[in-house]
Amino acid sequence: MVVCTGNICRSPMAEIVLRERFAAAGLADQVVVDSTGVSAEEHGNPVDRRARTVLQRHGYPTGDGHRARQVAADDRRDLVLAMTNAHARALRGLDPVLFRSFDPDAVGSLDVADPWYGGAQDFEDCLAQIEAAADGIVDHVRNDLGNARLRQNS
């Protein structure tokens, strides 16, 4: 589960990118990816039109099915990915990991930049940060799945 503030920009963008990367890795039938927000302010809203535009420009599917929702205390997942340190603090009972901690080239702040108040370039930059960490997340999950199989067989 990927978590940002309102669940209309960063986390649904990451959800879409991760679904595509897991499918490309042959793991789509083994991994469920979803997203939520720490706030209810956007509850029920679709993906922000600017986020959809940048995703489409980069060849990602952007179906109309997403509706923002707030994370709940019982939203237990094997991996909770927080987009910022502030989100991680809000999610501490769910043992979150920072999304960008999987980007091997990330330096400085590991927060995924919030494009909401910016323009088209801010959404491009946000997508670039998401894509840079996505393969590391896929590798991490692939390793976890392999380790789980080993535990089952021993």
Q: Measuring CA to CA, how many Å separate 89 from each of 93, 97, 107, 130?
A: 9, 10, 20, 20
Q: Smallest Cα–Cα separation from 35: which of 78, 6, 64, 63?
A: 6
Point out the residues that are catalytic.
4, 10, 114
pLDDT in tens, 30-52: 999 999 999 999 999 999 999 99
Q: Smallest Cα–Cα separation from 50: which of 105, 111, 146, 114?
A: 114
Distance (Å, whole) CA 54 – CA 35: 18
pLDDT in tens, 112-132: 999 999 999 999 999 999 999
pLDDT at 139: 98
Asked if pLDDT for residue 105 goes beyond 80, the answer is: yes
Q: Smallest Cα–Cα separation from 20: which of 9, 6, 10, 31?
A: 31
What confidence category does residue 154 fall into, taking pLDDT thresholds of 50, 70 and 90?
Answer: low
Domain ranges of the chain: 2-153
Tell me the CATH number for domain 2-153. 3.40.50.2300
